[in-house]
Amino acid sequence: MFIKTVFLDAGGVLVFPNWTRISDTLARHGVHVTAAALAAAEPYAKKHLDQSRTIKVTNDEGRGWLYFNLIFERAGVTTNDVTAAALTELYGYHQQSNLWEHMPDDVLPALRAMRALGLQLVVVSNANGTIEALAGRLGITDCVGCVLDSFVEKVEKPDPRFFEIALDRSGAARESTIHVGDLYEVDVVGARAAGIEAVLLDAADLYPDADCVRVRSLAALVDLLKNRINPSPRSSPTNP
């Protein structure tokens, strides 16, 4: 089936934590770790978090702060009352502005390339009610049709109802839609439960045995999609 619509997770796909802000906040509390060290630790901490048992007994907000503690530990930082105080400060910022405010340089070009292929793009994100404003601030909404935030919709991935809402809101058909996310137990499992094909963005190549399509970057996703769209009539062979 040709692809017409791409659902995109936000965190871990389009936007990432502001590691510089996190490093600076920790430093004010007397904990010194570089932004680069935190960023390097993130994929491994996320893979540890991405287990069905953890996903089933937590919600997105609860996983978020466990995620940071796992990153700190991977980066060699001892988690204690001091790091907890730093996280509390960061949480306050996140509730107002969204800490996942770093957008890599390749994101907008990839979104524009997908739009140039004639694809409809929809953000489907577990978030805290601020993702639409953040997407507007970063220019993402110039490329996507709509932004769905789990906090606003009162349901979050992997619950298939969130994907059903996204299908209804965007007018997309499930058979011609794919969902791209970075967590297997949240994005792949959730999308499949809604009858939607899933693609795992696995930048660090940590899921070699995953039973789904994997891409290492958004550029690789664009290349994949070029082979999954309906060719225009102009590109079809001319009848003799």
Dihedral, CA atoms, 104, 105, 111, 116, nearest 10 degrees? -170
Alpha helices, H only, the chain = 19-28, 35-49, 52-57, 60-74, 81-97, 107-116, 131-138, 150-153, 160-170, 189-193, 218-226
* Structure confidence by residue, pLDDT tens digits, 18-56: 999 999 999 999 999 999 999 999 999 999 999 878 888
* Structure confidence by residue, pLDDT tens digits, 101-157: 999 999 999 999 999 999 999 999 999 999 999 999 999 999 999 999 999 999 999
Cβ–Cβ under 8 Å, residues 31 and 77: yes
* Structure confidence by residue, pLDDT tens digits, 2-12: 999 999 999 99
With a pLDDT cut of 70, the percent of the chain lying above it is 96
If pLDDT is split at 50, 70 and 90, which confidence band does 61 have? Answer: confident
- pTM, two decimal places: 0.92
